[in-house]
Amino acid sequence: MDVEARKDSSPTRGKLTRRLLVALNCGMLALGTTAGPLITRLYYDKGGRREWLSAWLQSAGWPLLLLPAAASYAARRARDGRGAPLLLTPPRVLLAAAGLGVATGADNFVYAYSLRYLPVSTSAILISTQLVFTVFFAFLIVRQRLTAATVNAVALLTAGAAVLGLHVSSDRPAGATKGQYMMGFIMTLGAAALYGLILPLVELAYKRAAGGGRAVTYALVMEVQLVMGFFATAFCTVGMVVNKDFQAIQREANHFELGEARYYMVLVWAAVLWQFFFLGAVGVIFCVHTLLAGILIAVFIPVTEVAAVIFLHEKFSGGKGMALVLSLWGLASYSYGEWSEARAKKKAEIVAEAQAS
């Protein structure tokens, strides 16, 4: 192969690698978004009662990232010798990742607590309002531009949550009072708001890394997520120690409706699936931008809804259906606006290139 051929093939390989990364991270985000809440709700439905344990499981899968991080370091060591850096992430970005990890741990607890008193089908619609908060904070933090489609989507998602709030007595889980249901309702919105803030802050951390002269690679993204996962888990571990959750695990396993062995399988799969969610989210932010991560999290609402009805036998009321329609309408409006803007931008670039030549 001659030099010119290698030059031509290099950009093609780069685009292919990027597309594969986007597809991989979108797949992980989709799986975590739909299956994570279902397995957490299963834990509660079959006898689980520990909110701190449930929150801890959402980030406890972080050691899975040690394998790709170690492989990345080994590749650098083979290429650069002993001078290869142990970590690619600048110290100040690692410090920011630690802070984001603590915030993620707090968000995990708020969400885990709220899901104890809400069915997954209701929680999923409320979590879609995360896009509202992501849009708002992305505008403030990373200067993401607001469009008419964005404002319309925000209005529709807000209306969907309001409609859902009017039907608070229709689908409470067994044993949950109306007050507990309302607390779960409010806390789910709080979890959506906090994670809507975390996503743009992650993108800002990447920009800070790039501003420091470091190339923002996928290996760096995994390092950031590893640090976030470690500190989120440490935060929830403190809560578990104070709440004496570690001592209660064996008692819960003994009384779990599906049996002791399946109890531990539920815990393991919860850790794995939630790790897919978080790694997929930061990966999508790296490959594209924050708002796409917010869109994907919200766009899988119907899948979560159907799965909750099929596997957990949850009710699907008319009010919930109306809220779902409004949410999907908002997402469709936003997605169409983004597609139209991207198409117009691409046409403008083609015209500019033609005029330049």
Please give the backbone phi and psi of residue 144, each rounded to the nearest 5 degrees, phi first. -70, 130
The pLDDT score that the predictor gives to residue 280 is: 87
Collapsed DSSP state (helix, strand, coil) of residue 151: helix
Contacts 24+ apart (CB under 8 A), 261-269: 263/46, 263/48, 266/39, 266/42, 266/43, 266/46, 266/48, 267/43, 267/53, 267/57, 269/39
> Is 63 or 319 the better-scoring residue by pLDDT?
63
CA of 278: how far to CAs of 29, 30, 58, in Å?
A: 7, 11, 9
What are the tens digits of pLDDT across the range 247-262?
999 999 999 999 999 9
What are the tens digits of pLDDT across the range 200-257?
898 888 888 877 667 778 888 889 989 999 999 999 999 999 999 999 999 999 999 9
| Strand ranges, E, within 119-194 | none
Distance between CA atoms of residues 161 and 3, nearest Å: 58
Examine the pLDDT at 97 and tell me if it is beyond 70.
Answer: yes
Global pTM reads 0.83
Contact by Cβ (8 Å): 255, 176: no
